[in-house]
């Protein structure tokens, strides 16, 4: 029995909008989401949609308030404030919100639950420290990490990155190549927070450690920003203004090993990650050699290594040498342009949006002066290979 | 850890956390402070023993010390 996604290439992205990415937007997050959703529907040539999906997680360890329309924007909130009573509205509750939400949108269109589904992602940067938490008591599973001082996502990724460095001999110079590449590409993107602001190797290497071996440049910068994409069937897409970009397959990571909170050992990331990759290629009916536009997730820089290796773009343990040798240089012919969309490091904390947006813009031939004319198959990754997921996009149905 | 996002650790930074697999139960891994301090030369596979950080007469938090150093 084929494990290929039955809806493979039957649902497509037909329009999008991306807000400016700013440290603190002038409007509230809800207003920004409404404006961005309206622009996305207009871009797709539609007056409205009848489906809404998001993953609204506020990725902070801090003690910030969760308020719909202010610090998060749910699918139902957005539909209501657009004055739409949708046939289908749902939220993805796991990690890897972008591939999770895309999968739900594809399923909704393919099943007929909705004809046109808007997938949005709204990210908020609260005032004050993003991850600081003033807790004075701790209960539940966190009682096994907080008194020890193990807290927050920087500590989480520092542990796995330490394992990688010790196991494979990765250098800071290699990671500098990742940051220089992400910020080079981000500097070329009009809506990026880092527009016209590349990063030099020297600046990266001079940055002090926060949780060794993680420095501030290894972390994407918190921002206010919203992106929205419109999905519909391949059939209906023929009548819409832009070239459709087809969803060929998707996968999300699981099952994960039971661990303490925020404890993501390298073997868990890579072990479950290989299963995520296997299911992804099976779903899309292809393998890594077919992909010419991989967009790896980089909310923390070590994820670039973990995704390159998990998806089979280079051998396990070799990603640091691969990037140091120019393997992901978007300006080098024959290289894998794995951060050509700037990623989160080059745009700001838009979660998996920059990866998805780059796949859409390049494959629909809407990337303007950044257009890569040969790109045909893209992969957009989000979060960790073991907790997140990825989506395969194609410029042509096959 | 050179910076903590929690209250009460400002006097403690920098400190070093270790991820320890129990000899008694492989695959069970717990995280704690290495009591030897932040500047030790540490490698994957080094052996540690449980040790305790006394926060007050009533409260102690489990941590670890390099074997032979406790």
Q: What's the pLDDT score for residue B70?
A: 53
CA A39 from chain centre, in angstroms, equals: 21
Q: Which residues of chain B are within 8 Å of residue A265 when distances are taken between CB atoms?
A: 19, 29
Nearest to B6 among A133, A209, A210 (CB): A133
Q: What's the pLDDT score for residue A131?
A: 87
In a domain, B3, yes or no: no
Residue B69: pLDDT above 70? no
Domain count, chain B: 1
Q: What is the sign of the dihedral through the CA atoms of A17, A18, A20 and A22?
A: positive
| Tens-place pLDDT, residues B12-65 | 999 999 999 999 998 899 999 999 999 999 999 999 999 998 888 999 999 999
* Length of chain A (residues): 398
The two three-digit tokens of residue A153, written as one number: 């996502």
Q: Which domain holds residue A37?
A: 11-129+221-394
User: What ipTM does this complex have?
Assistant: 0.94
In a domain, B30, yes or no: yes
Nearest to A209 among B2, B27, B62 (CB): B2
Q: Which residues of chain A are within 8 Å of residue B45 when distances are taken between CB atoms?
A: none
**Across-strand partners of A89?**
A52
CA A317 from chain centre, in angstroms, equals: 23
Q: What's the predicted TM-score (pTM) here?
A: 0.97
In a domain, B8, yes or no: no
Domain count, chain A: 1
Q: B47 vs chain A: nearest CA distance in angstroms?
A: 16
Strands A51-54 and A117-123: parallel
**CA dist list (Å): B64 to A59, A149, A166, B2:** 31, 14, 20, 19
Locate the chain A residue with the closest alpha carbon to B28: A259
Strands A293-295 and A377-382: parallel
**Across-strand partners of A68?**
A72
Locate the chain B residue with the closest alpha carbon to A143: B61
Q: What's the pLDDT score for residue A275?
A: 95
A155/B6 touch (CB, cutoff 8 Å), yes or no: no
3-class SS of residue B13: coil
**CA dist list (Å): A20 to A75, A337, B12:** 21, 24, 40
All residues at 6 or more sequence positions from A336 whose CB lies less than 8 Å from its CB, including other chains? A292, A294, A313, A327, A328
Of the candidates A228, A240, A234, the residue with the CA atom closest to the CA atom of residue A51: A228
Q: Which domain holds residue B28?
A: 17-66
In a domain, A26, yes or no: yes
* Mean pLDDT, residues A306-322: 98
Q: B23 vs chain A: nearest CA distance in angstroms?
A: 17
CB A42 within 8 A of CB A118: no
Nearest to A149 among B19, B33, B43 (CB): B33
A159/B19 touch (CB, cutoff 8 Å), yes or no: yes
In a domain, A36, yes or no: yes
In a domain, A359, yes or no: yes
Of the candidates B38, B47, B53, B44, the residue with the CA atom closest to the CA atom of residue B69: B47
3-class SS of residue A88: strand
In a domain, A319, yes or no: yes
Q: What's the pLDDT score for residue A61?
A: 86
Cα–Cα distance for residue pair A41/A248, rounded to 1 Å: 23
B6/A135 touch (CB, cutoff 8 Å), yes or no: yes
A149/B2 touch (CB, cutoff 8 Å), yes or no: no
In a domain, B57, yes or no: yes
In a domain, A318, yes or no: yes
């Amino acid at each position: 029995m084929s494990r290929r996604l039955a809806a493979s290439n039957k649902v497509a992205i037909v329009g999008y909008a991306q807000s400016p990415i700013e440290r603190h937007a002038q409007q509230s997050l809800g207003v920004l989401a409404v404006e961005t959703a309206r622009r996305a529907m207009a871009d797709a040539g539609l007056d409205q949609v009848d489906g809404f999906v998001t993953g609204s997680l506020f990725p902070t360890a801090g003690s910030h308030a969760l308020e719909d329309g202010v610090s998060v924007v749910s699918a139902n909130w957005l539909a209501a404030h657009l004055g739409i009573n949708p046939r289908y509205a749902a939220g993805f509750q796991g990690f890897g919100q972008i591939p999770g939400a895309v999968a739900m949108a594809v399923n909704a269109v393919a099943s007929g639950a909705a004809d046109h589904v808007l997938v949005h992602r709204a990210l908020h940067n609260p005032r004050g420290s993003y991850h600081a938490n003033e807790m004075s008591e701790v209960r539940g599973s966190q009682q096994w990490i907080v008194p020890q001082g193990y807290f927050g996502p920087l500590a989480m990724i520092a542990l796995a990155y330490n394992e990688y460095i010790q196991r494979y001999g990765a250098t800071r110079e290699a990671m500098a190549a990742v940051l220089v590449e992400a910020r080079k590409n981000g500097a070329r993107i009009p809506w990026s927070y880092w527009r016209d602001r590349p990063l030099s190797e020297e600046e990266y290497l001079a940055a002090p450690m926060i949780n060794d071996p993680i420095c501030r440049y290894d972390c994407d910068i918190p921002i206010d920003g919203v992106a929205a994409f419109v999905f519909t069937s391949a059939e209906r897409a023929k009548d819409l203004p832009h070239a459709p970009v087809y969803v060929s397959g998707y996968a999300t990571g699981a099952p994960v090993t039971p661990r303490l909170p925020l404890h993501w050992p390298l073997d868990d990331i890579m072990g479950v990650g290989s299963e995520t990759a296997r299911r992804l290629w099976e779903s899309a009916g292809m393998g890594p050699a077919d992909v010419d536009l991989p967009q790896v997730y980089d909310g923390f820089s070590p994820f670039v290594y973990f995704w390159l290796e998990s998806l089979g773009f280079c051998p396990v343990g070799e990603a640091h040498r691969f990037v140091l040798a120019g393997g992901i240089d978007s300006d080098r012919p024959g290289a894998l342009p794995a951060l050509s969309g700037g990623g989160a490091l080059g745009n700001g904390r838009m979660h998996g949006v920059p990866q998805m947006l780059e796949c859409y813009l390049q494959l629909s031939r809407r990337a303007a002066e950044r257009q890569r004319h040969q790109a045909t198959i893209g992969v957009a990754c989000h979060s960790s290979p073991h907790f997140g997921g990825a989506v395969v996009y194609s410029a042509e149905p096959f | 850890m050179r910076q903590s996002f929690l209250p009460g650790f400002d006097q403690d930074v920098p400190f070093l956390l270790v991820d320890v697999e129990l000899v008694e139960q492989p695959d069970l891994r717990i995280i704690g402070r290495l009591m030897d301090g932040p500047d030790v030369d540490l490698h994957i596979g080094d052996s540690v023993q449980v040790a305790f950080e006394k926060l007050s007469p009533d409260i102690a938090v489990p941590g670890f010390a390099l074997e032979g150093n406790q």
